[in-house]
Structure 1
Amino acid sequence: MLHLTSHDLVFLIPMALVGMIAFGGIPFTARALRISCRAAGAIFGALLAVALLEALPLLI
């Protein structure tokens, strides 16, 4: 079960931004492909942050 609170946004939002920047750095000539790649990066970054936030209590 997913237990996210408001202070988890401190970690979730920067991870989404990092994913968006990392995937947005891939050079494409088509604007639509570049935007969709940035969106996929933001989603991937947010999912990675959620996975890390859920796994952290298991590691401690």
Structure 2
Amino acid sequence: MWHFQAHDLVFLIPMALVGVIAMGSIPVTARFLRISCRTMGALIGALVAVLVLEALPLLI
């Protein structure tokens, strides 16, 4: 069950940016690979944020 609220975006957006920065730092020469790495980083960062936001109430 998803329990998203507006203030959850305060956590989702920075995690997606961290994913973009982390995956964007992988040295590749092709432009397509660089864009693909950044896109995958954003998706992975957002997925980790969702997992943390959903698991946080279980820890409290």
TM-score interval w.r.t. the shorter chain?
Answer: over 0.9
| Counterpart check, 1:31 vs 2:43 | no
| Unaligned ranges ≥5, structure 2 | none
Identity %: 73
TM-score, normalization by structure 1: 0.98
Distance 1:43 1:37 in 2: 10
| TM-score scaled by length of structure 2 | 0.98
Runs of 4 or more consecutive aligned structure 1 residues displaced over 2 Å after TM superposition: none
How many aligned residue pairs are there? 60
Secondary structure, counterpart of 1:15 in structure 2: helix
